[in-house]
Structures are given as structure tokens and as C-alpha cells.
Amino acid sequence: MIKNIAVIPGDGIGEEVVAQTVRVLDAVGEKFGHKFNYTYLEAGGCAIDSTGKPLPEATLEACKKSDSVLLGAVGGPKWDHIPGIRPEQALLGLRGGLGLFANLRPAIMYDQLKEACPLKESIIEGGLNIMIVRELTGGIYFGKSGRSEDGKTGYDVEEYSFYEIERLLRQAAEIAMKRNKHVTVVDKANILETSRMWRECAGKVFADYPEIRVDFLYVDNASMQLVRNPRQFDVIATSNIFGDILSDEASQITGSIGMLPSASLGEGSFGMYEPVHGSAPDIAGKNIANPLATILSGAMMLRYSFGMQAEADAIEAAVGKALDAGCRTADIAGGVTPIGTKEMGDAVIKFL
């Protein structure tokens, strides 16, 4: 099988972690008989330097012609002084321009790294593997906002259509069918009309998935339950703002943000894949960044965009074996002597 991947290394450590991910993808291709073609593109701060824009039109158009997008990281203090332009605008432009509406944020605690988890051992015994599916293009972040004429009153409007909610919930259902067939819809239906719409729409969507167990939690309770009993969750489906907050909370309880991948999906199989962490310009070019979040994002690409389940499993298993062997970059080293970015890539390829 041949797949065309748009590669955006971005800024800071993006180039280093993406390079290791491409190496791993090539190793998977060789093992399973696939060919991955890469088109390297600019976005973020580096694109501002070369074109004056965080997202050049040529980058967006090339991404549209690809089968998926692999993104490193964008941003950094180098570009903070430029008025009205931020490297992070490239992310919003890519999500909007590519029609990406569902953000997938796994929160996985590897047993080999459980000492980094801030929760007590009795709570996390057996490990954590939660998938948060966040609506990405609607809600309060995209509603009407402004100030009154005297500037003393501000407003931000939460708005959702049934269409936006339904497509997100169906995406969550399809993901749950590949996992443990359990979805928790998180809302604030005791207060918000939009949340009552989420519950109404959930009744319609999940009627088509009788195998899935569905429950509902108010967002304040869900935020408490994530630290009280996180193992009760499998897939969490929620709105833009609630998902933004809960996914960051969930990433922290794993204790290893450098290990966490993410995906943003559109209609069909198209997606953009990137690590949760930022560009970390302070360690860029030093061969000490952790490439595993980006490598695991590559595994998500194989699973969700290319339908390559065995290949994705192989990458994830190789990461686990590398950790079993004591391979650690500096951010997850604990008392172990760390290895470098490239050496971690070598280890994952070895265990493939």
C-alpha cells in the first residue's frame, strides 16, 4: 500500500522528533510491505521567517492533496514580538482549512513509568488508557464574542448545531467500538441548553450502537472523577471547551506528557497527527527531546487514517519493549541514565 504524508516539522524540537517518527514509519513500511511518500512543508514560526505567514497557502494546499499530515510542534518566544501574528495561528488554519473537527487525546500511563504519576498507586493499579474525543470547531471558542459599547461587559456565546454534535459523537462511537465499547458524554446539562442538546443527540446516535455502554457526567463531576477513579473511563466525548480542559488534566495524571500523542480527524479517514507537547526551543538541537509522543502519533495515523491496525500495534508494542529495556530520554529518566532522541528512535526500530 502506498500513502502520501504531508510532513510539517515546525519549530524547536519538531524537526528532531519528526525525523525519528519518519524513520519508524519507514521501518514499519519495510516490515509490512507499505510505501510512505513524504512531502516536507513549512508552518509556524519557521514559515513566518521565510514567508511572513504562519500558514502559507502552498502548505495548506499540499496538505489537502495528502492522505494525512504529521506535525511536529510550532511556536516559541522568538516570534512573541510580532504584532498580530503568532506561529500557533498555523494550527487553527490547518484545522479549519482541512475540516478537522474531532480531536483525539489519549491519556495513557505506561506501567514502566507509573512512578511519575501523581496519583497514589492504589488508584492507578492496572494502568490508565483513556481516550478523550473533543469537538474542535464549534462551541464557545467559535461563538459570538465582544464587549459592550462602554467596554464594561464582555460576552462569549456557546453555540452548537445538531450536525456538529452528531458527527463528533459518531466519531466517538466508532472509536469506542475498537476499544472497550464504553462512552462517557461529559456536559453541563443541568445548566446549559447546548449540553441538553448533546444529551438529546446522544440518544439518537447511540441507538445505532447497541453494543456501547453510554453514561453521562456533568463536567465538574468528571473533573473530580478523573483524579478519584480514572480507570472508570474508556472514551470521553465532550465539547470544545470542556475537552480542552479535561484533556490537559488527563495528560497530567499520566505523569509523562512527553509520551502522549494526539490526532485531529475530519470526515472520512483524513487526519492530522501531532504530539501533545510543545516546541521546547530551549532543548532544540541537543538530541535530548523525547520522540515517543510523535512516534505514537504516527501509530495513531496508521490506525485511524490508514486502517493499519497491526502496524499501529507493532509500533506501540515496540515502544513498550523499549521502556521495558530501560530506554529513557531525560524527561522520563528518573534515576536511569538517559539516552538521546536518535537513540530512542533506534530502540523503537530495534524492537519492531
- Give me the active site residues, please: 141, 188, 220, 244, 248
Indicate the DSSP class of residue 64.
Answer: H
C-alpha span between 344 and 317 (Å, rounded): 14
Q: Residues of 142-167 as b/e, b for ≥16 C-beta within 10 angstroms? A: beeeeeeeeeeeeeeebebeeebbbb
How do beta strands 271-275 and 68-73 pair? Answer: parallel
Matching residue, cell 480542552: 244
User: Could you give the C-alpha distances from 161 to 53, 83, 239, in angstroms and in order?
Assistant: 32, 34, 12
C-alpha span between 340 and 329 (Å, rounded): 6
Residue 281 · residue 293 · CB < 8 Å: no
Residue 348 DSSP SS3: helix
Q: Where are the alpha helices (DSSP H) in the chain?
A: 14-32, 45-51, 57-64, 89-97, 121-124, 162-177, 193-206, 219-228, 240-253, 292-304, 309-324, 341-351
Matching residue, cell 473533543: 134
